[in-house]
A and B are shown apart, each in its own frame.
Chain A
Amino acid sequence: MAESNVLKIRHLSKTFGANVVLRDIDFNVDAKDVTCIIGASGSGKSTLLRCINLLETPTTGEILYHDVDITDRKMNVPEYRTRVGMVFQNFNLFNNMTVLDNCMVGQMKVLKKNKEEAKKTAMMFLEKVGMAPYINAKPRQLSGGQKQRVAIARALAMEPEILLFDEPTSALDPQMVGEVLAVMRTLANEGLTMIIVTHEMAFARDVSSHVVYMAGGVIEEEGPPADIFGNPQKNSTKEFLARFMQG
């Protein structure tokens, strides 16, 4: 392949005590890829995503970001995290700050931008997610869907190369899922590299360029969405998808 992989995961394993959560995970992410990780709860999807952002330290294996191993001790982790953003299931907006401050604090404190610049960037992304009118609100005054859109704007404001989504719609009621997925769909169309852990099968099928199906801490099957959803090779994948696609 001409373009090199942005992210390469090699033999990644993670254990919590005697609990093996991830076993020998291997996959690549290219620029502008939208990778959806699907699988039952407890299959290690979220842990994998958290390992990529080093919120969990992998037990063994390598994560290569532009061919640099980020699990290396000498790695500047905060700097890496500005390049690889993350959106959480529970939003994790800073409760002590307004919507605007949430989107500015990282730019000002971490990227050392001045206030005007930070505000401009923050407003640009808040407008993109449709939250610009709410800049003076505190997180507790927003609905779940609004919070998640702000969280996405906050992550985007750092202008990362890759954005990780950890079940971004799982804490939302069905009405709000749509507004968040719409934002993510736009980002995908604009060519942002994304890795998304999700239970939204229709979204995974329609938006992703690559689907990874995980079960029991290993990658059971991966490939283009047409193959995974249209012609799954393994029985476990078939069963899992059959249960989900009915609904």
Chain B
Amino acid sequence: MSLPSDFFGRMVFILQNYGPSFLAGAGKTMAIAIVGTLIGCLIGFAVGIIQTTPESKQDNLLKKVLIKGIKFILNVYVEVFRGTPMMVQAMFIFYGSSALFGINMSIVFASYFIVSINTGAYMAETVRGGILSIDPGQTEGAKAIGMTHYQTMLNVIMPQALRNIMPQIGNNLIINIKDTCVLSVIGVVELFYATKGVAGAYYTYFEAFTITMVIYFVLTFTCSRILRHWEKKMDGPDSYDLATTDTLAYTSGMVRFPDPKEKEDK
């Protein structure tokens, strides 16, 4: 088997021989990115919700101290994991866990874990911003019909905050797809690591990484389009159907309201 002499020929050759390696690498990359983003989002929601919990004067001292303490710990978590590179975190956690605690993480588990907590730290701040961006009137409206803080969060604030932070979640997913390549330092065979192996076999770095560039771009572009579509779906239709065709129903209220026909025309 000899290497073709032209650039495109070499690319085809690599694809024919190592296609499955690229696919496996891309698969692992996507798996880590998606699982990491999802778990990171869950962590982010939990941390963001706790950090925006209002302090109530009615709470007893123990509860106040407890909430303060938890908030402090979560702050430390957010600052540390936002403030250090994921590559360093990967080394620190993967080697540290076995050296200090004798825990032998599998490489794959370690990569899910690292991406998740890293994303969680970013998402915590995003969720906090999303919650703060919702008009306080929404909270008051919910309180006024007797909802507790928890019910208000679950039914009113979070659905709206989630919609508002969707672009940021998409951002995080795309960053994660790309940044999983730093996990090659602990030996995860994701797309970057796989490419390095392929490139080294015939010393075709340029060709192999051209393919990888394209794969990364296709992955991120597809994800960003899917998320954009999802956002549109969350917004619901622009128009609405009047709930009745019974013309008598329009006069059942005792106040005047605009002719529904006019609305439909718009």
Contact = CB atoms under 8 A, between A and B. Distances in A.
A and B: interacting chains: yes
Interface of A: 53, 55, 57, 73, 77-82, 85-86, 88, 90-96, 98, 105-106, 109-111, 127-138, 141, 143, 145-146, 149, 151, 154-155, 158, 178-179, 182-183, 186
A133 B244 contact: yes
A94 B142 contact: yes
A136 B141 contact: no
Interface residues of B, number: 37
Interface of B: 57-58, 135, 137-138, 140-148, 151, 155-156, 159-160, 163, 236, 239-244, 249-250, 252-258, 260
Contact of B144 (A55, A98, A132, A186): A55
A131 B243 CA distance: 10
Given A88-B140, A158-B146, A132 B243 contact: yes
Contact of A81 (B138, B143, B260): B143
Given A57-B57, A109-B155, A133-B249, A94 B256 contact: no
B142 to A, nearest CB: 7
Rank and list the top 4 A-B pairs by shortest CB-CB distance, nearest first: A130-B253, A92-B141, A106-B145, A82-B146
A98 B240 CA distance: 10
Given A92-B137, A92-B140, A134 B243 contact: yes
Given A105-B155, A130-B252, A94 B141 contact: yes
B139 to A, nearest CB: 9
B143 to A, nearest CB: 6
15 contacts: A79-B146, A80-B146, A85-B145, A86-B144, A92-B138, A92-B140, A92-B144, A96-B156, A106-B147, A132-B252, A135-B243, A143-B258, A151-B141, A155-B145, A179-B256
A131 B144 contact: no
A241 B243 CA distance: 44
Contacts of B260: 133
Contacts of A92: 135, 137-138, 140-141, 144
A113 B156 CA distance: 18
Contacts of B163: 96
Contacts of A110: 145-147, 151
Nearest to A92: B141
Nearest to A141: B240
Given A81-B146, A133-B250, A137-B240, A183 B137 contact: no
A182 B140 CA distance: 25
Nearest to B156: A94
A187 to B, nearest CB: 11
B147 A109 contact: yes
A133 B243 contact: yes
A82 B145 contact: yes
Q: Which of A81, A98, A133, A154 has the most CB of B within 10 A?
A: A133
B127 to A, nearest CB: 16
A127 B145 contact: no
Nearest to A123: B243
A14 B138 CA distance: 24
A88 B137 contact: yes
